[in-house]
């Protein structure tokens, strides 16, 4: 052996003959039916006697005609037969051939048992997979892939929002001893944000309704496992829905506390500066919570409109319950109607209306009007100081029965003088001086317009204008009612 043969490793070489170039012929398929097996065979692929011609190159000239889309098929029953006779050639359409092949594909089995090799005991076979039933998923288009990715990002953002909602609003503020006038109230939410929070509350409402029905059926408090099994949900999922709904409810309550302040200032103005203001705010908050629990988005109304009704209703019911004298809650609503009628008649008549006019305007009798006014009259302590004179109210009480003789009659002009000083002090400085000097209320006698103008270094016309403005202010019903108490 040569040196080259020694160095080269011994590797078995498999020689393969080059593939033969076969003509593009589609032959007729014949199928024979046996007992339960449908065997499909091809009559002949090609004949050894047929000479294969080399395909011609396509011409690129414009005048070249397209080749026919029809193919020649040869049908042979058995054995190789030379395709020499042109009478056996038939024209077949591509669509017909494709339909037949599709039918054959559907009828053929997915797996075929074939002979693989031969062992000591004989032949043994193996399974060969012809086609699989699971098809590869089609790749999504660019728009759909972008939409899927955007949806995943939105779900991640929503999950982060849920975590923030639970962290900030899971526990409601303790407003039992809060000062509502000094408390910082969050701003009102937008309509879209309120709608989103109400949608988060819906699962919690449905779970609470189901829990109430189970309590009535079982005559006991249902457990979380029973409740979760009833709605086909796990216990952690049930707890998360309850927490998210409670956090959304607390956030709606905190951001709508301004409705309570607005309702008190509009419908209960006499209590806005009273020590009972905080109590009314607590009652209004109860009405706000009730309105949020009962609010439904499908009704088409806003929370501010629906909440004001419940806030006002809750405050009206709380006033008689916490007052010194117990009376029906309808008296409080009638009293509000009386106040509105009194204000309307004051503007229409230009004077303080009488009891008969107010009762007629409201639609009640005079006796009922007096009962309502007497029952709803606020109760004050006698040791409370007057807001103007800073004297206790007990010092202004006179002896109407005359047990103290003439001393009680001498106290009445003194109180009237103090009340008149209070009313004049409520005017502007120049108006106060003009009225006092004009009518001698300063103890130095009455003076003419010229003297007053010289004292104030202004013209007589300006003195007359100040006098007219002062009289217009003194005719105000509030000042007149204040003076009538001491006459």
**Structure confidence at residue 87 (pLDDT):** 44
**Structure confidence at residue 188 (pLDDT):** 87
**Structure confidence at residue 483 (pLDDT):** 83
Report helix, strand or coil for 471.
helix
Q: Report residue 480 CA to chain centroid gap.
A: 52
Q: How far apart are CA 280 and CA 260, in angstroms?
A: 9
> Exposure of 289 by Cβ count < 10 A (0-12 exposed, 13-18 middle, 19+ buried)?
buried
State the DSSP code for 18: P
SS3 content of the chain, % helix, strand, coil (to 5): 55, 5, 40
List, in order, residues 6 or more apart from 24 with CB less than 8 Å away.
71
**Structure confidence at residue 290 (pLDDT):** 92
CA distances from 53 to 17, 23, 59, 116, 313 (A): 20, 8, 18, 37, 102
Both tokens of residue 12?
């078995």
384-484 and 326-379 share a CATH fold:
yes
**Structure confidence at residue 287 (pLDDT):** 92
Contact 171, 250 (CB under 8 A): yes
State the DSSP code for 451: H
**Structure confidence at residue 130 (pLDDT):** 54
CATH T-level topology, domain 384-484 = Arc Repressor Mutant, subunit A (1.10.10)
- Residue given tokens 């501010």 in the structure block: 304
Report helix, strand or coil for 200.
helix
CATH class of 162-325: mainly alpha
**pLDDT tens-digit profile of 28-44?**
444 444 443 344 444 43
**Structure confidence at residue 91 (pLDDT):** 64
**Structure confidence at residue 47 (pLDDT):** 40
**Structure confidence at residue 23 (pLDDT):** 44
CA distances from 9 to 4, 13, 58, 137, 375 (A): 10, 12, 48, 47, 122
Q: Which CATH number is 326-379 given?
A: 1.10.10
**Structure confidence at residue 114 (pLDDT):** 56
Three-state SS letters, 124-150: EEEEEECCCCCCCCCCCCHHHHHHHHH
DSSP H or E run through 89: none
**Structure confidence at residue 281 (pLDDT):** 87
If one counts every other C-beta atom within 10 angstroms of the C-beta of residue 482, the result is 16
Phi, psi of 464 (to 5 degrees): -65, -40
pTM above 0.85, yes or no: no
**pLDDT tens-digit profile of 443-477?**
888 888 889 999 889 998 999 999 999 988 888 88
- Residue given tokens 């288009």 in the structure block: 141
Residue ranges in the chain whose pLDDT is less than 70? 1-92, 109-137, 157-158, 160, 175-178, 272-274, 322-324, 387-389, 396-412
DSSP H or E run through 339: helix 329-349
What DSSP assignment string belongs to 359-392?
HHHHT--HHHHHHHHHHT-----TTPBPTTT--B
Domain segments of the chain: what residues?
A: 21-47+70-109, 162-325, 326-379, 384-484
Provide the β-strand partners of residue 72.
Answer: 91
DSSP H or E run through 112: strand 111-118
């Amino acid at each position: 052996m040569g040196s080259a043969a020694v160095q080269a490793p011994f590797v078995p070489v498999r020689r393969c003959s080059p593939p033969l170039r076969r003509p593009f012929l589609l032959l007729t398929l014949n199928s024979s039916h046996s007992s339960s097996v449908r065997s499909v065979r091809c009559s002949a692929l090609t004949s050894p006697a047929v000479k294969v011609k080399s395909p011609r190159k396509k011409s690129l000239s414009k005048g070249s005609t397209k080749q026919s889309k029809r193919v020649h098929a040869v049908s042979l029953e058995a054995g190789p037969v030379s395709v020499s006779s042109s009478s056996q050639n038939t024209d077949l359409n591509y669509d017909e051939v494709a339909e037949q092949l599709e039918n054959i594909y559907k009828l053929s089995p997915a797996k075929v048992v074939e002979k693989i090799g031969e062992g000591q005991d004989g032949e043994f076979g193996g399974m060969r997979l012809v086609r699989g039933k699971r098809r590869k998923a089609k790749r999504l288009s660019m728009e759909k892939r972008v939409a899927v990715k955007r949806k995943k990002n939105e779900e991640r953002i929503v999950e982060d929002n849920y975590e923030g909602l639970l962290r900030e609003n899971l526990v409601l503020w303790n407003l039992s001893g809060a000062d509502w006038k000094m408390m910082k109230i969050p701003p009102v939410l937008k309509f879209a944000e309120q709608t989103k929070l109400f949608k988060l509350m819906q699962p919690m409402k449905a779970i609470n309704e189901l829990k109430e029905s189970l309590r009535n059926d079982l005559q006991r408090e249902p457990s979380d496992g029973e409740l979760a099994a009833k709605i086909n949900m796990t216990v952690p999922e049930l707890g998360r829905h309850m927490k998210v709904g409670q956090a959304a409810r607390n956030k709606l309550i905190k951001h709508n506390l301004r409705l309570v302040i607005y309702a008190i200032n509009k419908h209960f103005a006499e209590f806005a500066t009273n020590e009972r203001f905080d109590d009314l705010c607590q009652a209004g908050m109860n009405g706000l919570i009730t309105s949020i629990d009962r609010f439904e988005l499908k009704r088409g109304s806003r929370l501010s409109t629906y909440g004001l009704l419940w806030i006002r209703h809750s405050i009206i019911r709380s006033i008689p319950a916490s007052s010194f004298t117990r009376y029906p809650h309808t008296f409080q609503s009638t009293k509000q109607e009386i106040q509105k009628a009194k204000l309307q008649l004051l503007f229409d008549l230009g004077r303080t209306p009488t009891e008969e006019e107010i009762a007629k305007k409201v639609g009640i009798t005079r006796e009922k009007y007096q009962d309502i006014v007497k029952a709803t009259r606020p109760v004050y302590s006698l040791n409370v100081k007057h807001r103007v004179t800073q004297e206790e109210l007990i010092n202004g009480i006179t002896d109407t029965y005359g047990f103290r003789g003439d001393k009680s009659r001498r106290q009445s002009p003194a109180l009237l003088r103090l009340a008149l000083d209070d009313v004049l002090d409520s005017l502007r400085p120049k108006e106060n001086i003009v009225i006092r000097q004009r009518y001698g209320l300063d103890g130095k006698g009455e003076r003419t317009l010229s003297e007053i103008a010289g004292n104030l270094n202004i013209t007589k016309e300006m003195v007359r204008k100040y006098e007219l403005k002062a009289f217009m202010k003194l005719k105000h019903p509030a000042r007149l009612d204040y003076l009538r108490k001491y006459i």
